[in-house]
Structures are given as structure tokens and as C-alpha cells.
Amino acid sequence: MQRSRSAKISLLQKLVLQEDFNFLVTNRIPRRLATRFMGWFSKLDSSLLARTSIALWRRFAPDLDLSEAKLQRFRSLHDCFIRELKDGSRPIDPDPLVVTSPCDAIVGAFGEVEDGMAFQAKGFPYRIRDLLADDALVERYARSGKFVTLRLKSSFYHRFHAPCDGDLSRVIYIAGDTWNVNDIACERIERLFCKNERAVLDIETAAPGLGLTLVPVAAILVASIRLHCLPHVLDMRYRGPEFIDCDASFTKGDELGWFEHGSTIIAFASSDFSFDDAIQKGARLRVGQPLFHSPVSLRRPPEASEARPTPEPSA
């Protein structure tokens, strides 16, 4: 009986992972409705429901690892999605010439921006103007800027962190769809990242002229981005301005916010940066590991850190 049940689960897992079936289920259902439902369901306050949901989740995501979580019991599925980690779980590379990965991720497409175009997958280019919605940023990266797509699986740690010391004075929020952003969808849906809900975080580094921009892109079941520098969640209910002023200062490794399931961050760097040798398609990165190398130090002078204390994270 047990063997028969295991065989059925194995067949179901194979079916879910089969490309055509996966694409159909995740991208041809009512995406916004499914995302709203998951937002409601995941926040139901029930330890029993949370344990049951996590057990089912593990059936389809065997790499779900909660051993590093600060808490081992969760009141809701949402609490598990946005879990914090034990102190020291993600060492941050201290080298001031190193820009670190803002998230745990699998490396997707990466390379140089050419004539204002980047790639989401082989043969699927997109205009960075359509993604960034800001002409000044496009001008900065359009010729020989660097880009890298960092994909977070649903089982990954979902919080993201500052890749270097910096300041943030504005967030651009672009409302959009909730397409799945996995490899299958990236190879079939043109301009996918430009269609989905996203935020643009332009980091002001300690080195004038060197630019870094992070673009957290939401996806199906996850259309919600929480940034500590803003008092409200960016989600499908947000009706505020597209350009949002803020005043945040942070050091490398500080937490910037989180996704509420799993998605993608696209990182852009100006042409003076170079990729770390470990950046290869399919490589697994963790928060704090090298992503780019800078030609000059990006460490903020001590007096600047004292002048602008980092705001307390929002709940």
C-alpha cells in the first residue's frame, strides 16, 4: 500500500515537472485570481494548516530546507515563505571591491546590454527601457552595462539584501501581470519580465559614476513585494504613485525586503563592473557571495554611516 502511494506521488511529481504541463498549469489559469487566493490562503493563522501545507509543498519541492530558519514552527504558510534565517547563515563577503548577490538564486541569463537590449533567455531579447521605465537608467546601462537574472525558486529563502553600501531615494513601481518566471516561461513568453509587476531600486553607491540597480520582479502566487524603506506593501491592491520617494541608507548585507513566495531579481551594473568568475548559467548563489567586482571601493566612509542611520525594518 505504501509503495503504491509513493509510486502515485512520484508520477504526480513527474507530471508537474513536465514542461508542457507545467507551462499550461502555471500560465493558462486565471493568474491574478490564483495569486489573490494564495495571498489569502497563505496568511490563514493555523499551525495545523501550516504544517499540512508545508508537508504537501515538500512533495513537489524536495529541496525545501528549513534547517537554517530562525523559527522551526510557523503559524501560517506565509510565515514560512518569508522566514528569517539564523544569524550567520549567510556570510557576507567583506571585500569592498565585491558586489554580493542580493538573494539566494539560480543564475539565468547574464551578459552585456547591447544597444539597450538584454536577454531573458536565448533568442528572447527585451528593451531595458520597457523594464526600467526610466530614461536616465536606460542611458546608464544601454551601452555595455552588465545584467544578470537571479531566479528564486519557491523553496528558496525569499528575503533580499543590499549588495553593497548605498542609499535609496526613490522606488519605481510598475504594476503588471503575474506570469510564472521559471525557465520554461522565459523560453516561451516574449518580454516576460517587462509584463510582470516589479519594482526598480536604483542604488546610489559610495563611488560616484558607478551604478547598481535591482529589479525585483513578482510572479504568479507572489505578486507582493515588501520593502523596508516604504510603509506599504507593493501588490495588486496598491493604487499609489509610480515614482515613490524614500530615504534609506544601508550597508552591504542589510535586509532590503522580501518576496512572499519566490520570483526573480534582475541586477544591472554600469560598464566598469565585471562579473565574478562563478557567474555561469545555472550556477547556485547565496546571499553574500560575489556577483560583480568593482574597480574602486564601494565601502561608505564611516562618517557617512554615522550621519544617516539605517531605518528600522518594517514588520
Catalytic residue selected from 53, 224, 249, 263? 263
Q: Is 261 noted as a catalytic residue in this protein?
A: no
Nearby residues of 309 by Cβ (< 8 Å), 6 or more positions away: 249
Q: How far is Cα of residue 187 from the mean position of the Cα atoms in its chain?
A: 19
What is the predicted pLDDT for the residue at 88?
Answer: 95
Catalytic residue selected from 158, 161, 228, 261? 161
What is the predicted pLDDT for the residue at 33?
Answer: 63
Three-state secondary-structure class, residue 291:
strand
Residue-wise burial string across 32-70, b where 16 or more C-beta atoms lie within 10 A, e elsewhere:
eebbbebbeebeeeeeeebeebeeebeeebeeeeeeebe
**CB-based contact 111:147 (threshold 8 Å):** yes
User: Would you state the torsion angle of the CA atoms of residues 25, 30, 36, 40, taken in this order, to the nearest 10 degrees?
Assistant: -60
Q: What is the pTM of this model?
A: 0.85
**CB-based contact 191:130 (threshold 8 Å):** yes
Q: Is 135 noted as a catalytic residue in this protein?
A: no
What is the predicted pLDDT for the residue at 31?
Answer: 58
What is the predicted pLDDT for the residue at 21?
Answer: 47
Residues with pLDDT less than 50, the chain: 1-2, 5-9, 12, 15-19, 21, 307, 310-311, 313-315
C-alpha grid cell, residue 130: 520597457
**CB-based contact 128:225 (threshold 8 Å):** no
What is the predicted pLDDT for the residue at 142?
Answer: 95
CA angle in degrees (0–180, nearest 5) for 37-43-47: 125
What is the predicted pLDDT for the residue at 154?
Answer: 83
Q: Is 158 noted as a catalytic residue in this protein?
A: no
Catalytic residue selected from 79, 104, 165, 276? 104
Interval 140-197: pLDDT, tens: 999 899 999 999 988 899 999 999 999 999 999 998 777 777 777 788 888 889 988 8
Quote the longest CA-to-CA distance of the chain: 68
